[in-house]
Structure 1
Amino acid sequence: MGRKRRTAEEIIGHLREVEVRLAKGETIGIACRAIGVTEQTYYRWRREYGGLKVDQAKRLKELEKENQRLRKAVSDLTLDKLILSEAAKGKLLSPDRRRKCVDHVTKEHGVSERRACEVVGQHRSTQRKRPSGRPGEKALTGAIIQLAEQYGRYGYRRVTALLRRDGWHVNQKRVYRIWRREGLKVPQKQPKRGRLWLNDGSCVRLRPERPNHVWSYDFVQDRTHDGRVYRMLCIIDEFTRECLSIRVERRLNSQNVLEELSQLFLIHGPPENIRSDNGPEFIATAVRGWLGRLGVTTLYIEPGSPWENGYCESFNSKLRDEFLDREIVYTLKEAKALIEWWRRHYNQLRPHSSLGYNPPAPKTILPAGLPPPYYEGAAA
Structure 2
Amino acid sequence: MKRGHATAKVLRTLKVHESTYYGRKKREASHTEERASCGLKGRPVPGFSSTNTGRKVADEQIKEWMLELLEGEEHVYGYKNLALCLRRQRGLILNKKKAYRICKELGILQKQRKKTSKHPRRVPRNRTVTGVNQLWQIDIKYGYVIGRQRFFFVLSIIDVFDRVVVGQYRGPVCEAKHVVQTLCRALQERLNPGDNLPTIRTDNGPQFVSKLFGDTCESLEIVRERIPPRSPNMNAYIESFHSLLERDLFSLTEFMTFEEAYEALDRYMDFYNNRRMHGSLKSMSPFQFSKWVMTLEDRSKYHRAV
What is the TM-score of this pair, normalised by structure 1? 0.41
The alpha-carbon deviation at position 204 of structure 1 amounts to 4.8
Query: Larger % of helix: which?
Result: 1
SS in 1 for 2:221: coil
Moved more, 269-278 or 288-297: 269-278
Match of 2:146 among 225, 248, 252: 225
8 Å CA contact retained: 1:235, 1:245? yes
1:239 to 145, 161, 164: 161
Q: TM (normalized to structure 2)?
A: 0.51
Asked which structure has the greater CA Rg, the reply is 1
- Summarize the Cα distance change of 1:215–1:312 in structure 2 as closer, same or farther, 3 Å threshold: same
C-alpha separation in 2, matches of 1:340 and 1:235: 15
Equivalent residue, structure 1, for 2:200 = 274
What SS does the corresponding residue of 1:205 show, helix, strand or coil?
coil
Query: Paired residue for 1:66?
Result: none
- Report the CA distance between 1:213 and its aligned residue: 0.4
Task: String of CA shifts for 1:251-307, please: whole Å, max 9, x gaps.
Answer: 100011111111112111373201110111011111111112212100110111111
The runs of 4+ residues in structure 1 deviating greater than 4 Å are none
Matching residue of 1:343: 269
**Identity level (%):** 25
Within a 5 Å distance, the mapping from 1:334-373 to structure 2 comes to: 334-362=260-288
Q: Name 1:143's counterpart in structure 2.
A: none
| Alpha-carbon distance in 1 for matches of 2:155, 2:128 | 22
Task: Please state how far the C-alpha of 1:329 moved relative to its aligned partner.
Answer: 1.4
- What's the CA shift for 1:344? 1.1
List per-residue Cα deviations over 1:223-270 (Å, max 9, x = no partner). 112221111101111111001233111110001111111111211137
- Contact 2:281–2:289 at 8 Å: present in 1 too? no
Greater percentage in strand: 2
Partner residue of 1:209 out of 105, 124, 130: 130
Q: Which residue of 2 aligns with 1:292?
A: 218
Secondary structure, counterpart of 2:288 in structure 1: coil
Distance (whole Å) between structure 2 residues aligned to residue 286 and residue 228 of structure 1: 26
Q: Distance in 2 between matches of 1:332 and 1:338?
A: 10
Q: Is the 1:204–1:308 Cα contact (8 Å) retained in structure 2?
A: no
Question: SS of the residue aligned with 1:325?
Answer: helix
Unaligned residue ranges in structure 2 (runs of 5+): 1-121, 291-306
- Give the drift of 1:206: 2.4
Give the CA RMSD over aligned residues. 2.3
Alpha-carbon separation, structure 2, partners of 1:347 and 1:223: 23
Match of 1:314 in 2: 240
Query: For each residue in 1:187-208, what CA deviation from the matched residue of structure 2 results, as whole angstroms up to 9, or x when unmatched?
Result: xxxxxxxxxxxxxx85250232
Residues 201 and 225 in structure 2, CA contact (< 8 A), matched pair in contact too: yes
Q: Partners in 1 of 2:179 and 2:141 — Cα distance?
A: 14
Question: In structure 2, how many angstroms separate the alpha carbons of the residues matched to 1:363 and 1:315?
Answer: 16
Q: 1:207 to 1:327 in 2, by over 3 A?
A: farther
Residues of 2 paired with 1:316 and 1:281: CA distance?
A: 18
